[in-house]
Amino acid sequence: MKTRCEVMASRVIPMIRGEIARELVNRGYAKKEVAEFLGVTIAAVSQYTSEKRGATTSKRLKELVKEIVDDIENGKVSKGNLNDRFCKICSIIRKESLDI
């Protein structure tokens, strides 16, 4: 049996990264910048932006990610504290029993 965190790591974290990557690229950030910020490869960002990886239809998850991206642009979220925001989203998903 997988723990909640294992499920989140394998399913939800890629969705969060994918949404962040898509949102940042849509706002004009270069894929290289996005890759460095997320700690992934440029190829991974390309897969995220083409929705080959990390795609979701959850409107709630997209709202939560948009808040993170707004905070990234406003300097409230850095590469160093991004993991805290991922944990917060996972907690919200569990609390709200979102079907992701």
Instruction: Fill in the DSSP letter of residue 81.
Output: T
Exposed / middle / buried, residue 36 (Cβ in 10 Å: 0-12, 13-18, 19+): middle
Q: How confident is the model at residue 7 (pLDDT cuts 50, 70, 90)?
A: confident
Residue 82: helix, strand or coil by DSSP? helix
CB contact burial 53-77 (16+ within 10 A = b; e otherwise): bbebebeebeebbeebbeebeeeeb
Q: pLDDT tens digits, residue range 37-95?
A: 999 999 999 999 999 988 888 899 999 999 999 999 999 999 889 999 999 998 898 88
| C-alpha R_g of the chain | 13
Q: pLDDT tens digits, residue range 47-62?
A: 999 999 888 888 999 9
The stretches of 1-100 forming alpha helices (DSSP H) are 4-7, 13-26, 31-38, 42-49, 59-73, 82-95
pTM for the model = 0.89
